[in-house]
Structure 1
Amino acid sequence: MSTDDAVTVTSAVLRQWPLPPPGVGKESRGRTVVVGGSTKTPGAVLLSAESALRSGAGKLQVATTRDTATAVAVALPEALVLGLPQTGEGGIDPACADDEELVELVRGAHAALLGVGAVGEPDVRALLESLVPGLGNTVVLDALGLAPVTADATFLHHLRGQAVLTPNLAELAIVLDADPEEVEGDVGAAALELARRSRCTVAAGGGESWVAAPDGRLWRDASGGAGLGVSGSGDVLSGIVTGLCARGADPTQAAVWGVHLHGRAGDRLAASVGRLGFLARELPPEVPAVLAEIEV
């Protein structure tokens, strides 16, 4: 498929592709688990976890470094928080991939977000290379969580498309081993190539966002603008996508809806705060209102 044939995402397009009915209880809207964070970047899991709930997920669980777990639990009273052993760098110790409680948590979730806010590329890669092959649920990889795919494009093939990758443009170039300027010049084509290699849905973007499906379908979303280029914005996006997957959306639908919800939340803040200067932490509270506007 040519990028010229990409579907432009609008509210009208999404109304023709409605999300699964939400049900009446938290279990009916799925279990989300977020695995990541470090002593240096504890806020990333907070942004992603809240975003999953704001997108309608029912039950939230977080696994993060032991030293930050209590603070995360206080900041997220809605979540079960599991503290994990740490490396000297302050990241998650990859040896905990054999921890029965962590394995049960991740396998029991409807959707798992892995790698957000994690540090230490070799450690993150080792953790996921031990943990992910045994999974059969939907997986979302963000930030350093993409490291195993960079090393081996077939890493998620066993999930048969039940996975989403959410790289920023720099990460997209790294995973593809491509020139960053070439990727920035044709983000849609780069997303399609990664989707083809990985057999996963890919959501990537800068000034505009692109979602590519493994079967070659492509969507373009121009919402959001420059204000979304701020620390933590990608953590919010990955959390929204994961929450929608937990609700029962298939990975490609979750990515297309998630990119638009993220962008529209940015549009709302641009109108109320300013085109630049709003914060990533301000995005999640806007998501329910955007959802309501679309689903009217």
Structure 2
Amino acid sequence: MPPTSPVRDLTPTLLREWSLPSVGDSKYSRGQVLVVGGAARTPGAAQLAGLAALRVGAGHLTLAVADAVATAMAVATPEAGVIGLPQDGKGSVTGEGVGLLEDDLGSADVVVIGPGLDDAELTADLLKGALPLLGDDTWLVLDAYALGVLPGMKDAVAPFAGRLVLTPNSSEGGRLLGRDLDDLEADVPEIARTYGAVVSCQTLVADPDGACWRTGAGQIGLATSGSGDVLAGAVAGLLARGTEPLQAVCWASHTHAAAGDRLAAAVGRLGFLASELLAELPRVLVELGA
């Protein structure tokens, strides 16, 4: 294993000096995000990711979720276009309807796959069908079940090296390496090198070239259902705005963690909800001068 690079700390001062690019005044100039996920039992995960993308400044959002919940999702999320996808008898999204997404996969600036998917085999089928339809410049963000099946799909994602972002928790990171994570400062950069991706895992961000950053913000309360979906969406939203990948993931990781800090002060270290993070994201960005 190559030696790890020194880990740099992500601080508000550093981020203010590493300012985000300016954005246009059109919703399309701020980027189009497509979130593919949301099984019938877990549609909220896709919704959280999509709303997080909008909260950090993305301009246009489409959610692709299980057909049984698509109408309800469209009503609950008037900010988004919603596409219903075929599902099996348990409500899990299948890969059979990927053709319904062909235009959206080809035109989106960023595609997020994984939030709310709940079947490994069907997720693999969905990925196999979706990846060839992505645009040549489309960014791909993988989360949740899409990470779990990734070790068996290295050839399929190889063409996306350099435009791939992974947002694993520690368990998912272990699956990506085929072992438990025991040293984040070595393991997260190894994930990045292995998959040619920028990776956000726990408190660390790493890229394939060896850059490694640590966010000092964040509370134990972030370890709650839906929190990772918010992070994946925040990454997607900043990418959609035209932010370079390492910068987008660093900014999103810090903003997500700092939103947790704000809620810990207002609500308590435990007990705040992932949905409550959404409103804090733009407030953190304002504090950082973005």
Bin of the TM-score, shorter chain as denominator length: over 0.9
Instruction: Tell me whether 1:280 sits opposite 2:280 in the alignment.
Output: no
Structure 1 partner of 2:111: 112
Structure 2 partner of 1:269: 263
Structure 1 partner of 2:287: 293
Question: Counterparts in 2 of 1:237-248, with a 5 A limit?
Answer: 237-248=231-242
State the shift of 1:154 in Å. 4.2
Q: Any conservation in 2 of the 1:37–1:116 contact (CA below 8 Å)?
A: yes
Find the partner of 2:183 among 176, 181, 186.
186
Structure 2 partner of 1:83: 84
Residues 49, 172 of structure 1: alpha-carbon distance in 2 compared, 3 angstrom cutoff:
same
1-structure distance, mates of 2:106, 2:245: 17
Structure 1 partner of 2:216: 222
Q: Any conservation in 2 of the 1:154–1:198 contact (CA below 8 Å)?
A: no
State the shift of 1:155 in Å. 3.4
Structure 2 partner of 1:162: 163
* Runs (5+) with no aligned partner, structure 1: none
Structure 2 partner of 1:173: 174
Structure 1 partner of 2:152: 151
Structure 2 partner of 1:199: 196
Q: Any conservation in 1 of the 2:33–2:61 contact (CA below 8 Å)?
A: yes
1-structure distance, mates of 2:155, 2:214: 26
State the shift of 1:16 in Å. 2.1
State the shift of 1:133 in Å. 3.1
TM-score w.r.t. structure 2 length? 0.95
CA-to-partner distance for each residue in 1:261-287, whole Å, 9 max, x for gaps?
A: 100100000111111110101001001
2-structure distance, mates of 1:123, 1:259: 29
State the shift of 1:225 in Å. 1.4
1-structure distance, mates of 2:265, 2:167: 26
Structure 2 partner of 1:139: 140
Q: Any conservation in 1 of the 2:5–2:212 contact (CA below 8 Å)?
A: no
Structure 1 partner of 2:204: 210
Aligned partner of residue 214 in structure 1, secondary structure: coil
State the shift of 1:3 in Å. 5.4
State the shift of 1:192 in Å. 0.6
Aligned partner of 2:33: which letter? T
Structure 1 partner of 2:248: 254
Question: Counterparts in 2 of 1:47-58, with a 5 A limit?
Answer: 47-58=48-59
Q: Any conservation in 1 of the 2:38–2:117 contact (CA below 8 Å)?
A: yes
1-structure distance, mates of 2:246, 2:17: 15
Structure 2 partner of 1:67: 68
Aligned partner of residue 94 in structure 1, secondary structure: coil
State the shift of 1:153 in Å. 3.2
State the shift of 1:134 in Å. 3.6
Structure 2 partner of 1:96: 97
* Runs (5+) with no aligned partner, structure 2: none
RMSD between aligned residues: 1.4
State the shift of 1:106 in Å. 1.5
State the shift of 1:148 in Å. 4.1
1-structure distance, mates of 2:253, 2:86: 33
CA-to-partner distance for each residue in 1:5-61, whole Å, 9 max, x for gaps?
A: 111001111122211112111111000110001111111011111101001000111
2-structure distance, mates of 1:27, 1:40: 31
State the shift of 1:171 in Å. 0.6
2-structure distance, mates of 1:274, 1:122: 39
State the shift of 1:152 in Å. 3.4
